[in-house]
Amino acid sequence: MSPSAVAALLGLTLALGLGLLLDYVFRGRRIALADRVAPHFGEAPRGGPMRWRGVGWLGTHRPGDAALARALSEAGLPADPVRFRQGDLVAACLAALVVVALLTLMALRTAVQPLAGLLLMSAAVACTLWARREWLRRAGAARKARMEEQFPALAELLALAVAAGDSIGPALGRCSTALRGELADEVRRAVAEVKRGSVLPTVLRDLAARLKLDALTRCVDAIAVASERGTPLAAVLRDQAADAREAGRRALIESAGRKEVAMLVPVVFGVLPLSVLFAVYPGLELLTLGL
């Protein structure tokens, strides 16, 4: 490929990126009617794709849509693969735009090989897409860890509400309004679904399957068994809260054990050399002065 053809390709990419960014700013960020009314029904705004026909091919079904939707749901984002892929397109265009701008500034001072610029732009786009996937994975893991920390408080408050005379449905509503956090938001959505006519056991099972928290799954199963056998729910919920706190304590001890070697790195490579230096340097200075 000739240098002029590569330069023309870079200019076309720059023009396409600028067009996508302008369309996203002026039209893609509009709030749809469904997003405006969703909070009044206890749902999160779903969002929508950019209203530009040029990116309609992103809406086609792809093999990884189910996994991507599940990862988005775990991260607390709208489970819309089309919207996320359009975000990938905008981020890739931004990365390409930055690279083209840097290459243009470099070309003002020295000669720049077009093929090297094309390779650099491709690497920047690939790194941007990888960074977005890695951010999504880390966001999902962090959100799951926060919900695991919030579950014991939810179980204890639910046990107090049930012991005070509430049934499991109103008790969940009280807990969702009293607590703050991701888990409380999910419980609030489940209570909203029950108010719209869904069956409570089904909603709780769907909630446990969607969040994939071991403690929540055991709690839902225990509630179902206690309801069938007539076991007092308050005692069951208190036991679940105690088990969740014990599991969190064990996980913390295991994490500390795994990071024991990592905690020795600053001691071995930072504190210990300085201690040796402070102990040896005065003696070396005395020997130098004596000589």
Average pLDDT, the chain: 77
- Rg for the chain (alpha carbons), in Å? 28
Contact between 99 and 117 under an 8 Å Cβ cutoff? The reply is: yes
**What pLDDT, on the 0 to 100 scale, is given for residue 51?**
44
Domains of the chain: 3-140 (no CATH), 144-258 (1.20.81)
pTM higher than 0.85: no
What is the SS3 assignment for 29-80? CCCCHHHHHHHHHCCCCCCCCCCCHHHHHHHCCCCCHHHHHHHHHHCCCCCC
Give CA angle at 29 (48, 85), nearest 5°: 50
Contact between 99 and 124 under an 8 Å Cβ cutoff? The reply is: yes
Express each pLDDT in 148-203 by its tens digit: 888 888 888 888 888 887 778 788 888 888 888 888 888 888 888 888 878 888 88
Distance of CA 104 to the CA centre of its chain: 35
Express each pLDDT in 27-39 by its tens digit: 555 556 666 666 5
CA dist., res. 281 & res. 272, Å (int)? 14
